[in-house]
Amino acid sequence: MAREFLLPDIGEGLTEAEIVRWLVPEGGHVEADQPVVEVETDKAVVEIPSPFAGTVLRHGGAEGETIRVGSVLVVIGEDGEVEASATLAPEVEPSHAAAPIVGSLSEDAEVLSPVGLSAAGEGAKEVKALPIVRKLAREMGVDLGQVRGTGPEGRVTREDVVAAAPSTTEAQTPSGESMPQDRTASPAEDSAEDQRRPLSRLRRTIASNMARSWAEIPHVTTFDEVDATRLVEIRSALSTRHEVKLPMEALVIKAVIPALEAFPDFNATLDGDDLIVHGAHHIGIAVDTPDGLLVAVVRDAAALAVLDIASEVRRLGEGARERSLAPQELTGQTFTVSNIGAVGGGQGTPIVPYGTTAILSVGRAQEKVVVSNGDLAIAPVMPLSLSYDHRVIDGAQGRRFMALVIENLEEPALFLAG
């Protein structure tokens, strides 16, 4: 008997996911608990195992398609079983009765007629496309009637629309000549090189989160520098002793923990008129990936030794770049550290992640002239940028927090002995 497996909520508040890759084709055999599909949520790419063993009768969506939680992800039957139209497909008009059932998405697609033609008129061309593809076509100015569909039964896919999208439209010069021009540009602009492309799911999530944080959190950023001589020496010594490269984030996290304990408002969440001060220290680390910025979370960092934090930072960094982390490893941070020095950055104005009150950005250490015991010296100087929610944290408290972080970074023995 065929059984439907619905897309489960695999993350916190997940409402939909995009199908990245089917791991078992229609007609293929799948074992119970064997990964059947790879989907992309707002932040993670995860494999979903089949709860049943049997034959994959129908995929609930094509690769690249977005489906909602609770909708059919895959239909699995007994080996040798064929999906029955009477149980798994809605009634259709007699004119469509001959359409194939297994592997068909015709029940989800709409038949459209090209602009200017009647669907019943002579020469009318039926266009099959999912609603999300039709919406994309409208946004990109693509006439679906002129697009050759490469999906099942000639259905137009998102990739077909993107490939057919014009990057320019035609405008007339005063002499009547045609010249390429962007649809949104002013008539005087030459936009032949412009291209329009849809944002990826991850980039849309990043954009939404950044906009919400910037719109709702009144940011204050304080800047400073730290003499990183001892920090660099300790990092080098630990790396040599343990024969492993120690990520700078591990030492910074360890230095920040005492400051979070001394000033708990920096390890908190503002919830309406209440401030939730978190007992645990879940430190987010910003990871630069080919797909965009992700924040992976070191859980209970205060309970970990510096080498354990280093191991976790390396694991999370690799997992984020490979998009293999679980959703729970990408959510729930109570404070964030961003090492922009890893990509050559200095000072900046980091945006406070929504649901937290502060973020510390650490820049690249560079040799500068410093005053040490009344004498001039050359030392590696590391820039720091601390952004915080001014609704919760005042400027004086921000400076005190930064001063304690600097004290710890300049003498690592203060936090390594703890």
Cite the active site residues.
Answer: 390
What does the alpha-carbon distance between residue 308 and residue 315 come to, in Å, rounded to a whole number? Answer: 11
User: CA angle, corner 24, sides to 21 and 28, nearest 5?
Assistant: 150
- Cα dihedral 330, 336, 341, 344 sign: positive
Relative to beta strand 335-339, strand 366-372 is unpaired
What does the alpha-carbon distance between residue 294 and residue 93 come to, in Å, rounded to a whole number? Answer: 48
